[in-house]
Amino acid sequence: MNQTINKELLENLSLILKEGDIAKTKNFLIENFKSFPESVQDEITMAFMSEAIIDEANRIDAVTEMQKQGLEMMASLEKIKSSLEDELKAIDLTQGLKK
Amino acid sequence: MSFLNNYESKQKGGKTNQAPEGMTMAEILANKSDSINFGLYLKTERTDPALTERLISGTLKDGDINELEGLRSVFAKKIEKARELSDYINEENVVSLAGKSPGVQKILNLMVPAKAVTVFKNMFEKMSITDGATFSTISSAITTLEDYKNGKLKDVEDGVQCLIEKYRIKDEEALTEALQIKNKASREEALAKIVKDGHGKIRKLFDWMTDGNSGFFRDPSLIAKVSELNKKKGQIEKAILEVNKKMKSVGEVLASSVNNNPDLLNAFSKELIGKKVDKDGNNSAFKDLYSVPETEKTEEEIIKEMQVSLDKKIKDMGATWTAKTKKEKDDYVNTAFKNDYKDDSKKEYKKKSGFWSFFFSMLFDSFDKKVDSIDKTKFKY
């Protein structure tokens, strides 16, 4: 397994980094994956996997938080609806008695 | 390895006469990956290099045993925690992650899931020793994924499902239509808009309901407030319709949040996490990579920086510097000073590199050559 990095590859990566485009950098790392030494391949694999794990956990946290807020709102709305309906029934009852 | 037998017997013959907790020193040294990580750990803890040498050469002194025992115990706990957490990262879960992450999918196009799992586990153990902050972030994320998979967050999702059934909430027509769009980019755009609008509604309503001034629904004198509707039937009916409308709106957003369509999940992720995303929708680990071009300084920039550093060192040396001969000064600038400058720069860059320290080590070959090639005549001293 090659343990040194090709100079041209390193220079190309440096140029891409200077552009500051993360998506392009990731594509470069993947496209040239096999040209990197094994230790670097491991770091790249770890970076992609860690990122996916963190992103997925963030998504779960955010959706769960939103769902909790939504459920809380629905409970409050149910409560107010029930109060309004009670009030409506009371009016109907009063009006019925008046008749 | 007689020193180890001596060491282990001392460990076991301690006050409690119990086997040490976690891996023993013999076990650590017998495993290639563990012994490398233990070496890294000793380095991270700034242990006296002579202790490491004595450990490797089997010439431990009595005083070393206690120090090593303390280090072994902490090391074993760190590795144990990394192993426990990384158990979650199995082939099945990696394949599942790939379904949600184009990055991991690309990695799995290059290697089988089993290899990706092995790499992750090894790197994660190493990270537990060398990069506590990143290790902690990933650990916390794995715990969330585990909790989710084991149903610890199921209460919330069950609550949403109950509401969907209770009110017979269906997906919004717009959502059903968006999910059927064949073009990926257009589908993602339509879903992002639906999620953004829906989340906007829910957030606005939540802010209003929880606002101390206008929090009508949160007011403890709720019933009194309702009575203030002047008991006019029309007004109350109108209020009920308004509440129904809001419930429908919240319900639809909740229903979409339990839809497992990957594109919809992705749209939620982007909207709710509220992070700055690149066009792949990712961030985190790759961000640090952009401090790397700092090592790509021009020769002029390096000379300027080195001159500042040299002036400081000469000032610090004071009379010692003045007493040096011309040849000694030249030799110092050409060797010791350049080496110090390279080491200091590496330390500085490594602080910034975080996750991508490997990349720095690659760049430093060319950086070192650049520094070495600068002639001493470029400096004033």
Are residues B284 and A54, on separate chains, in Cβ contact within 8 Å?
Answer: yes
Which of A45, A52, A77 is the closest to B101 by Cβ?
A: A52
Closest-CA residue to B68 (of B33, B23, B31): B23
> In this model, does residue B231 exceed pLDDT 90?
no
DSSP-derived secondary structure for A10-68: HHHHHHHHHHT-HHHHHHHHHHTGGGS-HHHHHHHHHHHHHHHHHHHHHHHHHHHHHHH
Write down the pLDDT at residue B95.
94
Domain end residue (candidates: B249, B273, B297): B273
Domain end residue (candidates: B85, B118, B136): B85
Dihedral, B222, B228, B230, B233 alpha carbons, nearest 10? -20
* pLDDT band (50, 70, 90) for residue B307: very high
Angle of helix B184-210 relative to helix B233-257, nearest 10 degrees?
130
Q: Are the CB atoms for B254 and A40 separated by under 8 Å? A: no
**Same domain, residue pair B67 and B94:** no
**Same domain, residue pair B197 and B245:** yes
What residues of A are in contact with residue B98 (Cβ under 8 Å)? Answer: 52
Higher pLDDT, A33 or B274: A33
Mean pLDDT for B113-134 is 90
Are residues A83 and B358, on separate chains, in Cβ contact within 8 Å?
Answer: no
What residues of A are in contact with residue B106 (Cβ under 8 Å)? Answer: 30, 48
Write down the pLDDT at residue B15.
47
**Same domain, residue pair B98 and B169:** no
What residues make up the domain containing B132?
Answer: 87-149
**Within a domain: residue B281?**
no
Q: How many domains does chain B have?
A: 4
What residues of A are in contact with residue B353 (Cβ under 8 Å)? Answer: none
Are residues B141 and A54, on separate chains, in Cβ contact within 8 Å?
Answer: yes
How distant is the alpha carbon of residue B29 from its chain centre?
29
**Same domain, residue pair B244 and B158:** yes
> In this model, does residue B226 exceed pLDDT 90?
no
Global pTM reads 0.70
Are residues B244 and A58, on separate chains, in Cβ contact within 8 Å?
Answer: no
**Same domain, residue pair B219 and B133:** no
* pLDDT band (50, 70, 90) for residue B361: low
**Same domain, residue pair B328 and B351:** yes
Count contacts between A and B (CB, < 8 Å). 238
Write down the pLDDT at residue B2.
45
Among all residues of chain B, which has the CA nearest to that of A20?
B290
Are residues B103 and A26, on separate chains, in Cβ contact within 8 Å?
Answer: yes
Domain end residue (candidates: B149, B180, B195): B149
Are residues B138 and A50, on separate chains, in Cβ contact within 8 Å?
Answer: yes
What residues of B are in contact with residue A20 (Cβ under 8 Å)? Answer: 290
Q: Are the CB atoms for B267 and B188 separated by under 8 Å? A: yes
**Same domain, residue pair B259 and B200:** yes
